[in-house]
Structure 1
Amino acid sequence: MNSVLITGANRSIGLETAKQLSAKGLFVYLGSRNLEKGEAVVKELNDQGFQHIKAIEIDVTNPDSIAAAKNTIEKEQGKLDILINNAGILGTNPQTAANASIKDIQEVFDTNFFGVISVTQAFLELLKKSESPRISNITSGLGSLTLHSDPNWKYYHVKAAAYGPSKSALNAYTIVLAYELRELPFKVNAIDPGYTATDFNGHNGPGSVESAASFIVKHTLTDENAPTGQFFSNDIEDETGMSPW
């Protein structure tokens, strides 16, 4: 049975992704900063008939927490097949380039960018033991420099000086990581689930968590011929879903 770790999976898109992957027969580690909250969610899922889901405590900004999670999965599985870096924060608003505090920007980057790097580096050893390792970095269209420079883009006026740049940096890191792992059977991609109605944005997005999670699953459970080092967006209306960087 293949295993997957999803960070920030105790609610919203991460939770729905856990449900969909569990339904497909994967063993899911449901990452949560608070173990009690994660275990409560898993109990609810078990009551709904979902199996092979275990809550695991992981704070992507805490090296000791990451190491403990890695040791647990190594002990129980011996490897990890899929890492979905889903944990993220929006940060305080407004986020203007002229007035956003360095402290607030750093806080967003600590989770959305440096947290992803810390988790990824910690789990690479276990991922390399998988026959078909996958790393999906959950990003946003707000991280696309090309789209943000296009006045005709529907979200052109949605600018956030901390959140957007943190996702741009994540996209850039994804490209470098995919390149470095290109000779191995890894598929490393940035996946934008689209503007989705969640607690994250006050339920303002037009998309559903079901659609968002389905898109993540689609571009994570890929075969050996699938692309790597790409940016896929659920807001792109074509068959590939490939988004401009």
Structure 2
Amino acid sequence: MTTTLITGANKGLGKETARALVAEGHTVWLGARDAERGRAAAEELGARFVQLDVTDDASVAAALETIRDAGTGLDVLVNNAGIAKRGEGMSEAMDGPSVLVVFDTNVVGIVRVTEAALPLLEASTNPVIVNVSSALGSFWATHEATRPAAHFVSVIYGSSKAAVSMLTVQYAKAHPRLRINAVEPGITATELGGGSPDAHPGRPAAESARIVARMAMVGPDGPSGTFQEDDGELGW
């Protein structure tokens, strides 16, 4: 039995990834800040709930202790939690505190959870980490005229996802036995940044979750230190 932890999983892409992996037979720990929403989502999906705020060291430590004490082990970590901060007119909030909040969640949060999860992952026979990123953090995609990312300005969120790219590469170098990859899930209708999924032009979260789930299921001979999307590897 494969055990997976997904952060930020009570809604949107995280929840749909959890749904897909439960369907594949994974024991899924659904991590969420909001206990009520997290428990409801876990009950709906047949997953296990664990309270987890990626910006809180104590919360992260307690979540991994809960998983350890449950005896399920941990084979897969999906670092899905992420935010964008909007100011007036839905433009990015560019003040210092807002930028720090985005980086604390999107970048430092990955380090917090990954470091706490590594002792359990290293005991797995097939340890996998998936970092949910974005083409907005790809230097290649943001310079390639055929890509949507080249025509969308995202100063802070895009920069935070570029940092996720380097975290992915460096963690893969530091832990060669683990399969560690970043994923571009595609333009997805979610509440990221405070909007409504119904008003978002992106595709359904369930469709985008397929690539995340696929990379969560790679074997010991699978890729590591790569950036993946629907059609294969994406340029950094």
Task: Give the alignment's TM-score, normalised by structure 1.
Answer: 0.89
Q: 1:194 aligns with which of 186, 190, 202?
A: 186
5+ residue gaps, structure 1 = 46-50
CA shift digits 1:145-168 (9 cap, x unpaired):
122123443332211221000000
Distance 1:141 1:193 in 2: 9
Distance 1:64 1:166 in 2: 23
Shifted more, 211-220 versus 148-157: the winner is: 148-157
Q: Is the 8 A contact 1:105 1:161 kept in 2?
A: no
Report % sequence identity: 36
Partner of 2:113: 119
Q: Is the 8 A contact 2:3 2:72 kept in 1?
A: no
Q: Do structure 1's residue 244 and structure 2's residue 206 form an aligned pair?
A: no
SS of alignment partner, residue 159 of structure 1: coil
SS of alignment partner, residue 25 of structure 1: coil
CA shift digits 1:207-231 (9 cap, x unpaired):
2212211111112201222110000
| Counterparts in 2 of 1:220 and 1:78: CA distance versus 1, 3 Å | closer
SS of alignment partner, residue 148 of structure 2: coil
Distance 2:72 2:18 in 1: 20
Map 1:71-220 to 2 at 5 A.
71-77=65-71, 79-93=73-87, 94-95=91-92, 100-182=94-176, 184=177, 186-200=178-192, 201-203=195-197, 204-220=200-216
In the TM superposition, what is the alpha-carbon distance from 1:188 to its structure 2 partner? 0.1
Structure ranking higher in helix proportion: 2
Distance 1:193 1:153 in 2: 14
Distance 2:77 2:39 in 1: 20
Partner of 2:64: 70
Distance 2:221 2:40 in 1: 38
Map 1:30-41 to 2 at 5 A.
30-41=30-41
SS of alignment partner, residue 188 of structure 1: strand
In the TM superposition, what is the alpha-carbon distance from 1:78 to its structure 2 partner? 5.5
Q: Is the 8 A contact 1:104 1:162 kept in 2?
A: no
Distance 1:103 1:205 in 2: 29
Distance 1:152 1:215 in 2: 21
SS of alignment partner, residue 233 of structure 2: coil
In the TM superposition, what is the alpha-carbon distance from 1:103 to its structure 2 partner? 1.4
| Counterparts in 2 of 1:68 and 1:242: CA distance versus 1, 3 Å | same
Distance 2:51 2:83 in 1: 17
In the TM superposition, what is the alpha-carbon distance from 1:79 to its structure 2 partner? 2.4
Distance 1:26 1:78 in 2: 11
Task: Give the alignment's TM-score, normalised by structure 2.
Answer: 0.92
The aligned amino acid for 1:41 is A
